[in-house]
Amino acid sequence: MTKVAVVGATGYAGAELVRILAMHPEIDLAMITSRQYAGKRFAAIYPGMETLSPLVCEPLEIETLDQRADLVFLALPHELPMTIAPRLIAAGIRVVDLSADFRFASRERYEAAYQPHRAPELLESAVYGLSEVYTVLIADAVLVGNPGCYPTTVLLPLVPLLRERLVDPESLVADAKSGVSGAGRSPSLATHFCEVNESYKPYKVAVHRHNPEMDEVLSREAQTDVHITFVPHLVPMTRGMLTTIYAQPAAGVTEAQIWDCLRSAYDNAPFVRLCTDGRIPDTRFVRGTNFCDIGLRLDAVNNRLVLMAAIDNLVKGAAGQAVQNMNLMLDIDESCGLMPAPYPL
Amino acid sequence: MTKVAVVGATGYAGAELVRILAMHPEIDLAMITSRQYAGKRFAAIYPGMETLSPLVCEPLEIETLDQRADLVFLALPHELPMTIAPRLIAAGIRVVDLSADFRFASRERYEAAYQPHRAPELLESAVYGLSEVYTVLIADAVLVGNPGCYPTTVLLPLVPLLRERLVDPESLVADAKSGVSGAGRSPSLATHFCEVNESYKPYKVAVHRHNPEMDEVLSREAQTDVHITFVPHLVPMTRGMLTTIYAQPAAGVTEAQIWDCLRSAYDNAPFVRLCTDGRIPDTRFVRGTNFCDIGLRLDAVNNRLVLMAAIDNLVKGAAGQAVQNMNLMLDIDESCGLMPAPYPL
Amino acid sequence: MTKVAVVGATGYAGAELVRILAMHPEIDLAMITSRQYAGKRFAAIYPGMETLSPLVCEPLEIETLDQRADLVFLALPHELPMTIAPRLIAAGIRVVDLSADFRFASRERYEAAYQPHRAPELLESAVYGLSEVYTVLIADAVLVGNPGCYPTTVLLPLVPLLRERLVDPESLVADAKSGVSGAGRSPSLATHFCEVNESYKPYKVAVHRHNPEMDEVLSREAQTDVHITFVPHLVPMTRGMLTTIYAQPAAGVTEAQIWDCLRSAYDNAPFVRLCTDGRIPDTRFVRGTNFCDIGLRLDAVNNRLVLMAAIDNLVKGAAGQAVQNMNLMLDIDESCGLMPAPYPL
Amino acid sequence: MTKVAVVGATGYAGAELVRILAMHPEIDLAMITSRQYAGKRFAAIYPGMETLSPLVCEPLEIETLDQRADLVFLALPHELPMTIAPRLIAAGIRVVDLSADFRFASRERYEAAYQPHRAPELLESAVYGLSEVYTVLIADAVLVGNPGCYPTTVLLPLVPLLRERLVDPESLVADAKSGVSGAGRSPSLATHFCEVNESYKPYKVAVHRHNPEMDEVLSREAQTDVHITFVPHLVPMTRGMLTTIYAQPAAGVTEAQIWDCLRSAYDNAPFVRLCTDGRIPDTRFVRGTNFCDIGLRLDAVNNRLVLMAAIDNLVKGAAGQAVQNMNLMLDIDESCGLMPAPYPL
């Protein structure tokens, strides 16, 4: 079995990776690293895993990593992966990076949103890991830039519609809402229980770094320059993300045509569930799963389209999609290890 | 002092009215009614009021109400107030109705959204109780139709901008989010703790009854037919409402002009706080208050305006605005009884 | 494979059973029933199961149930199971009942706490389904009375200590805390989000029906009449139960002896995790699992023992323990289908 | 009017003090200090106070403080107040300290739980600020050590019963539960939203520093050496504290005698509400208030007494009781500025 490592195993996305990979029947989770907790058992950090996993956090030693793993997940803050990935790839290791470092094709776009890129030579071959959209490319990729959580909810509903020119690319607004785990595990006033609980607010209005990430993919797929107005909000809950998208349908486009377009795009996608029966997506129904539930309504009076997409930000929005990409890369069934029944509540 | 009654005192909006009125220094809360709890002390239903109020819930007896109160708040489900208000008004009592029954000038609009109106003759003289917009009319009104919570968050930021034609009336989208108390006190699966907690979802997408209420006022103030795309969402918290509004500014309009317009509209409004320093509204900062905090951003790339308005749905969105209207009607200082310092958290 | 049915599949405990059994590799979940939702797909009631289960809720038809299932779970309110179980058993079906109807050996105790028993002839052969304590009896049982959630948290730590007379049976106090899902799915004011959220309170202080259930087992195992003071509290969270137990150790008993006793009782129990490293149990670490985490401290000053036990009230406290019992009855590995890795948060 | 200052105004207890004092009609909140936010407006830190308070945080300058205030609240972490209080008192300023530094009469007890005391000469004259118990001493005090939140919930119900020897002082157990705001405003993993939400756990089991604080007062009032077993728990909510106390009544003591004792102790106490009608205390009903609601039940089978006390940890458990003490010290009505009607939810 393929040996797999998780670098940065004790952040929330890393820990979610460990949860999934520890039970994955087709790979061998051979090692995990943590700078902060090196030498400690993973189950001492996440006691829910007590008796389930004997893994011990190790320090990251890039030189010897190629003897330990064939594929490495990088679950680190951006800026670190671009210093690590080149050496792993040079050693013949395939990489799924969960940070923003390899999500952009355009170095300029990346550098405008983040900082100077230290491995720009890898950007061209890196594949954007939106599993359902770039399936074939991912299968052959050496380096996958796993999408951001917000972009996943925006791109899955919009890409097919833009490709078929069913919506006006100048009309796009994404009003997105995320649970607090999206902000990561580092303590801060912004994630203090008392500051978040019983509170609802937008943040980084129209200046969030996921905006250029979406714009690049939307523009590529629409074959025209697209900028979506993107406003994220923080919801007082741990997990879950729901994005409400507003768009103007092209002249004459009907609701049935929109569903047809989405259906033909995702007919064979095990993790995209189209709510064609009128059900409205709810984060509760995708909690802990790799699903993306997509619903829609047409505001009949002014013919405006409302798309809704719900995911678990830590699963389809991070670790789950990363494992889905690994499955594709290793030619394992796409949903292997990713199909637990979700809790009823 | 004016004697005041609350009809329907034990629902959430009614109880919030009792809280405010019980401490109001310029009126006398003379009686409260409750069908369900007639004969019981209010503090037995809401034990937080124990030792603070000796009020006992009475059954509603319309015939004798004019001897008990000069002004009556109706905090009942719609359909009931339109059978009660005519008799109160005939008896010389002024009425603030918190339901939808007297919010509409257009009988057709009301009947399309609700049911046949049984007191259509009152619609013309009833005043829409958006305190900051219809201040003068409210002062002289016999019957006030207190606004819905969602319309309050949509209209306060948009009315001045539409009046001055600073935004395109065809471009409007309101993505609104409400705490659960907006759904009222009656138990239902939709308000069961386990169904709401750790859950986020839209509901009544583009078909909510507050939509025609907003549309009527927006159209009147814009002097053109306006339909806003309105999508409400349920947030796992008890109180609070935040609406994010997307609009296209008219050609050449700058952010400064928009602030100037809002400033001149609300310069003397004690409960509208304009976040001109860049602060982003947060429901936490208006919790338990009658404030409406308004912020804005311009998405520079595509020149789209993002307006944000936060209120407490039970206060400025219901009971607080009702008392503000009473203050105006009784020529009491507008903020009397409505200015407690909010909790820091 | 054994065919299994769930009667009452759409309550919270029933739905949790469906979640576990739908993925269970060694049995066939052949049918589910629901009075309220007969004819509807389970996934229409719990949309999280969409694409994962095609099961349709059926009405309960006892006459033909023996042709559909070999073992039946009854996830119904008490009083119903005692009218159904006799007929199932007569038809050769084995039964795991999640209500209180078959938890008591003493008819008097049951009738004092609940109502007249309509199948008292079954009480003697029914086995109390505390999996780790009555393992052998359960394996051979025709009818298992699955324990209440609170008793599970009280009995697992106390039974071994009472058997070995390490604690004074007259000194016992259990201060228990439960998430709201323990109250079931039926809407009520007591489970309304706004009434529970940001609220903490005891209820049924020293008069809860789980008290005599505990007392019967404690008395049997201590071989003396035991009454524990039991006070449940409601916690504003969906799932999870933690009980803090106070007891006087017998003269001279040390902390090490108490751990030894628990260790020898649960050495081979896959779902009891003893926190011998000083970790304090937290409901978060057992969420969604069948584990019971047990910790302890000795208050050195007055030599009082503090035991802490955490479970997921819907899993080890209901559906999970029921499946564990089924595994024992069917001679399947005890943990089969019950060992998913818990979410990190 | 007396000029009052708050030192440490931007922590949660300090901010709650500002909220109450800013609206207090009988004193003048003349200055507030904050090391971290010196030079910033208070309303910039707590935007809920925008338009309500123009106060600006100042650095602490002890030398000139006596020209600015007649009474100072110290809302700082322990260890700081004992270096500041002596100089304030020497300058003729009265002090209410919210930390533990002046709560203990016994230097040994303080130093065993905290650290070496740097102003031990003040311990004898400092008064323990449990308002209802030490009312007369507080009125004349120069220095008040404001009680901890947990001790407030334990002492108010127990002190009268111990004084009259109605309960066995060797039998006491306090199982206490607190909202997260009790942990203060400094970010930490322990207060991270995702670590607390949907989680319930004990902490510092039988080793919390509030334990010796309670023990000292209990021992003094019982006139015998008392050690209570004290186990605090963390509840996923912002505010609120509820403690369940277990005690053995003295031989022959009835429930009526216990109520009589509490009634005669608190008959004139505006903030102690005895739930003699059987109501069970709930943190929701004291939220944002200075009330302590006390209820009780007798477990008839083994004659064990269950006392329950609920407070808002930031009000009666900190800032509210501090203001109550100030009112007593300044001969203002005890409840002045402390009687807002609580929100219905």
The predicted-structure confidence for D217-268, as pLDDT tens digits, reads as follows: 999 999 999 999 999 999 999 999 999 999 999 999 999 999 999 999 999 9
Decide if C109 touches D, using CB distance below 8 A: no
pLDDT, chain C, mean: 97
Mean pLDDT by 10 residues, chain D (345 residues): 97 97 97 98 97 96 94 97 97 98 98 98 98 98 98 98 98 98 97 98 98 98 98 98 98 97 97 97 97 97 96 98 98 96 88
**Token duo for residue C149:** 């959630």
Q: How far is B12 from chain C (nearest CA, A)?
A: 10
Contact C37, C59 (CB under 8 A): no
- How far apart CA D48 and CA B284 sit, in angstroms, is 8
Q: Which two tokens stand for residue A15?
A: 């820990």
Contact at CB, C48 and A343, closer than 8 angstroms: yes
Give yes or no for residue C297 having a pLDDT over 90: yes
Q: Please name the residue of chain D whose CA is at the shortest distance from the CA of residue B338.
A: D340
**Banded model confidence at residue B169, pLDDT cuts 50, 70, 90:** very high
Q: Sheet holding C2-7: strands in order across?
A: C57-58, C27-33, C2-7, C71-74, C94-97, C143-145, C127-128
ipTM of the complex: 0.97
Q: Cβ contacts of residue B268 below 8 Å, gap of 6+?
A: none
Q: Is B152 on the interface with D (CB under 8 A)?
A: no
Contact D301/A at CB under 8 A: no
User: Which residue in chain B has the smallest CA separation from A300?
Assistant: B206
Kindly list the residues from chain C whose CB atom is less than 8 angstroms away from the CB atom of residue A239: 343, 345
Q: C131-161 b/e with 16+ CB inside 10 Å = b?
A: bbbbeebbeebbbbbbbbbbbbbbbbbbbbb
Neighboring chain C residues of B196 at a CB cutoff of 8 Å: 193
Summarised one tens digit per residue, pLDDT across range B287-316 is 999 999 999 999 989 999 999 999 999 999
Give the pLDDT band (50/70/90) at residue C345.
confident
- Answer whether residue A340 shows pLDDT above 90: no
Interchain proximity A15–C344, CB inside 8 Å: yes
Tens of pLDDT, residues A177-192: 999 999 999 999 999 9
Residue B231 — φ and ψ, nearest 5°?
Answer: -125, 110
* Contact assignment for B341 to D282 by CB distance below 8 Å: no
Those residues whose C-beta lies under 8 Å from the C-beta of residue D335, and which sit 6 or more positions away, are D270, D271, D290, D324, D327
Coil, helix or strand for C302? coil
C-alpha C209/C-alpha C151 separation (Å) is: 10
Interface-testing mutation among A37, A181, A192, A193, with chain D (most D C-beta atoms within 10 A): A193
In whole angstroms, give the CA distance from residue B114 to residue C235. 39
CB-based contact A229 B240, cutoff 8 Å: no
Give the pLDDT confidence score for residue D258 in this predicted structure.
98
Cβ contact C345–D195 (<8 Å): yes
Give the separation between CA C279 and CA B344, rounded to whole angstroms.
34
C318 reaches B (C-beta below 8 A):
no
Angle at which helix D12-22 crosses helix D320-329, to 10 degrees, equals: 50
Strands A241-247 and A173-178, how do they pair? antiparallel
Phi (first) and psi of residue C135, to 5 degrees? -50, -50
Render pLDDT for B61-84 as a digit per residue (tens, 0 to 9): 999 999 999 999 999 999 999 999
Q: What is the pLDDT of residue B254?
A: 97
Assess D180–A contact: CB distance below 8 Å, yes or no: yes
Q: How far does B183 lie from chain C, in Å, by closest CA?
A: 10
- The neighbours of chain C, by the rule of 3 or more Cβ pairs under 8 Å, are A, B, D
- Report the alpha-carbon distance of residue A214 to residue B253 in Å, rounded: 27
Q: What does the pLDDT average to over C102-116?
A: 98
- The one catalytic residue in A149, A261, A275, A292 is A149
Residue of D nearest to C311 (CA): D200
Distance CA C6, CA C76 (A): 10
- CB-nearest to B302 from A201, A227, A239 is A227
Residue C183 vs residues A122, B79, D250, D281, D299: alpha-carbon distances, Å: 55, 34, 36, 19, 23
- Report pLDDT for D252: 95
Selected residues 8-37 of chain A with any CB under 8 Å from a CB in chain D: 12
Q: What is the pLDDT of residue D36?
A: 96
* C310 at interface of D, judged by CB pairs closer than 8 A: yes
* Interchain pair C205, D304: CB under 8 A: no
Q: What is the pLDDT of residue C48?
A: 96
- Please give the share of chain C, as a percent, with pLDDT higher than 70: 100
A238 touches D: beta carbon within 8 Å: yes
B46 to chain C: closest CA residue: C195
Query: In Å, how far are A345, B23, C144, C235 from C147, measured between CA atoms?
Result: 21, 50, 9, 21
Q: Given C188, C189, C193, which is nearest B196 (Cβ)?
A: C193
E-state strands within C146-288: 173-178, 201-202, 229-234, 241-247, 272-274
Distances (CA, A) of D20 to A171, C198, C315, D13, D23: 48, 21, 45, 11, 6
User: Chains with ≥3 Cβ pairs under 8 A against D?
Assistant: A, B, C
Asked if A149 is an active-site residue, the reply is yes
What region, left, alpha or beta, does residue A329 occupy, with left being phi > 0 and alpha being psi -120 to 50 degrees? alpha
Is pLDDT of C329 > 90?
yes
**Cross-chain residue pair B16–D343, CB shorter than 8 Å:** yes
Q: Residue A312 — pLDDT band, cuts 50, 70, 90?
A: very high
Query: Does the pLDDT value for residue B345 go beyond 90?
Result: no
Nearby residues of C190 by Cβ (< 8 Å), 6 or more positions away: C183, C196
The predicted-structure confidence for A112-161, as pLDDT tens digits, reads as follows 999 999 999 999 999 999 999 999 999 999 999 999 999 999 999 999 99
Q: Count of CB atoms within 10 A of residue B266's CB?
A: 20
* Residue D150 at interface with chain A, using a CB cutoff of 8 Å: no
3-class secondary-structure state, position D175: strand
pLDDT of C129 reads: 98
CA–CA distance from B79 to each of A106, B82, B208, D220 (Å)? 59, 6, 17, 63
Question: Hey, are the CB atoms on A51 and C285 less than 8 Å from each other?
Answer: no
Chosen from B192, B207, B233 to mutate, greatest number of chain A CBs within 10 A: B233
Inform me whether the C-beta atom of residue C112 falls under 8 Å from chain D C-beta atoms: no
Mean pLDDT of B101-126: 98
- Give the residue from D191, D193, D198, D284 with the most A CB atoms within 10 Å of its CB, the best one to mutate: D193
The residue annotated as part of the active site, out of C149, C261, C275, C292, is C149
Q: Crossing angle for the helix pair C149-163 and C255-266, nearest 10 degrees?
A: 110
Instruction: Provide, as residue numbers in chain A, all residues whose Cβ is less than 8 Å from the Cβ of D238.
Output: 193-194, 197-198
CB spacing of A343 vs C51 below 8 angstroms: no
d(CA A140, CA A327): 11
Q: For A49, which of C198, C341, C345 is closest by C-beta distance?
A: C341
Distance from CA of C86 to the nearest CA of A (A): 30
How far is the alpha carbon of B277 from chain C, nearest alpha carbon, in Å?
32
Interatomic CA distance for residues B228 and C140, integer angstroms: 66
pLDDT over 90 at A342, yes or no = no
